[in-house]
Amino acid sequence: MPQVLKRENITISIGEYQKDGVTKQRYKTIGELVTMQNDDSSVYQFGELWGPTGGTKFNVYEQQDRNQNNTQGFQQPQQQAPQQGFQQPPQQGYPQR
Protein backbone atom coordinates (compact mmCIF):
# COMPACT_ATOMS: atom_id res chain seq x y z
CA MET A 1 0.00 0.00 0.00
CA PRO A 2 1.43 3.45 -0.92
CA GLN A 3 2.72 5.48 1.98
CA VAL A 4 3.17 9.21 2.49
CA LEU A 5 6.84 10.18 2.64
CA LYS A 6 6.46 13.92 3.03
CA ARG A 7 3.83 16.70 3.09
CA GLU A 8 4.99 20.22 2.28
CA ASN A 9 3.23 23.59 2.30
CA ILE A 10 3.33 25.77 -0.80
CA THR A 11 3.72 29.39 0.32
CA ILE A 12 4.04 32.83 -1.22
CA SER A 13 5.43 36.03 0.29
CA ILE A 14 2.66 38.57 0.87
CA GLY A 15 4.64 41.31 2.58
CA GLU A 16 7.08 42.24 5.28
CA TYR A 17 6.95 43.20 8.95
CA GLN A 18 9.34 44.38 11.64
CA LYS A 19 10.08 42.31 14.73
CA ASP A 20 12.78 43.34 17.22
CA GLY A 21 14.28 45.69 14.62
CA VAL A 22 14.59 42.91 12.01
CA THR A 23 12.60 42.87 8.75
CA LYS A 24 10.88 39.53 8.23
CA GLN A 25 8.75 38.11 5.43
CA ARG A 26 5.04 37.43 5.88
CA TYR A 27 3.91 34.24 4.11
CA LYS A 28 0.56 32.79 3.11
CA THR A 29 0.05 29.07 2.55
CA ILE A 30 -1.65 28.55 -0.82
CA GLY A 31 -1.40 24.80 -1.21
CA GLU A 32 0.15 21.48 -0.36
CA LEU A 33 2.63 19.12 -2.07
CA VAL A 34 2.55 15.41 -1.13
CA THR A 35 5.35 12.92 -1.84
CA MET A 36 4.28 9.26 -1.90
CA GLN A 37 6.09 5.94 -2.30
CA ASN A 38 4.55 2.89 -4.03
CA ASP A 39 5.05 -0.71 -2.95
CA ASP A 40 7.69 -1.06 -5.70
CA SER A 41 9.66 1.84 -4.08
CA SER A 42 8.82 4.27 -6.91
CA VAL A 43 8.17 7.82 -5.72
CA TYR A 44 5.59 10.26 -7.08
CA GLN A 45 4.20 13.68 -6.14
CA PHE A 46 0.88 15.47 -6.38
CA GLY A 47 -0.74 18.42 -4.69
CA GLU A 48 -3.44 21.01 -4.51
CA LEU A 49 -3.45 24.81 -4.79
CA TRP A 50 -6.12 26.68 -2.84
CA GLY A 51 -7.74 29.86 -4.09
CA PRO A 52 -10.85 31.97 -3.65
CA THR A 53 -12.83 29.73 -6.01
CA GLY A 54 -11.73 26.42 -4.48
CA GLY A 55 -8.89 23.98 -4.90
CA THR A 56 -7.02 22.91 -8.02
CA LYS A 57 -5.32 19.51 -7.93
CA PHE A 58 -2.07 18.96 -9.83
CA ASN A 59 0.49 16.24 -10.54
CA VAL A 60 4.28 16.57 -10.69
CA TYR A 61 6.24 14.94 -13.53
CA GLU A 62 9.98 14.73 -14.05
CA GLN A 63 11.19 17.10 -16.77
CA GLN A 64 12.29 15.46 -19.98
CA ASP A 65 15.44 16.47 -21.83
CA ARG A 66 14.37 18.89 -24.59
CA ASN A 67 16.67 17.14 -27.08
CA GLN A 68 14.96 13.77 -26.66
CA ASN A 69 11.78 12.75 -28.42
CA ASN A 70 9.01 12.94 -25.83
CA THR A 71 6.08 10.72 -26.74
CA GLN A 72 3.98 11.52 -23.67
CA GLY A 73 3.14 14.70 -21.84
CA PHE A 74 3.91 18.22 -23.03
CA GLN A 75 5.61 18.68 -26.37
CA GLN A 76 7.33 21.86 -27.47
CA PRO A 77 5.59 23.55 -30.41
CA GLN A 78 7.64 23.89 -33.57
CA GLN A 79 9.39 27.24 -33.81
CA GLN A 80 8.25 29.40 -36.72
CA ALA A 81 10.06 32.36 -38.17
CA PRO A 82 8.38 35.63 -37.19
CA GLN A 83 6.27 37.17 -39.93
CA GLN A 84 6.97 40.70 -41.05
CA GLY A 85 4.18 43.25 -40.77
CA PHE A 86 0.47 42.72 -40.28
CA GLN A 87 -1.27 40.21 -42.48
CA GLN A 88 -5.03 40.38 -42.65
CA PRO A 89 -6.72 36.99 -43.01
CA PRO A 90 -8.87 36.57 -46.12
CA GLN A 91 -12.54 37.27 -45.53
CA GLN A 92 -15.04 34.74 -46.76
CA GLY A 93 -18.33 35.78 -48.32
CA TYR A 94 -17.21 39.37 -49.01
CA PRO A 95 -15.48 40.56 -52.18
CA GLN A 96 -11.88 41.68 -51.76
CA ARG A 97 -11.24 45.37 -52.58
Which tens digits make up the pLDDT trace of 58-72? 999 988 887 765 555
What's the predicted TM-score (pTM) here?
Answer: 0.59
Any domain includes 83? no
Neighbours of 29 (CB within 10 A): 10
Q: Is residue 74, in this structure, part of any structural domain at all?
A: no
* The total number of structural domains that make up the chain: 1
Task: Identify whether 87 is part of a domain.
Answer: no
User: Is the distance from CB of 66 to CB of 47 less than 8 angstroms?
Assistant: no
Residue 34 lies in a domain: yes
Q: Is residue 70 part of a domain?
A: no
**Residue 7 banded pLDDT, cuts 50, 70, 90:** very high
Whether residue 90 is predicted with pLDDT greater than 50 in this model: the reply is: no
Domain that includes residue 53, residue range: 3-60
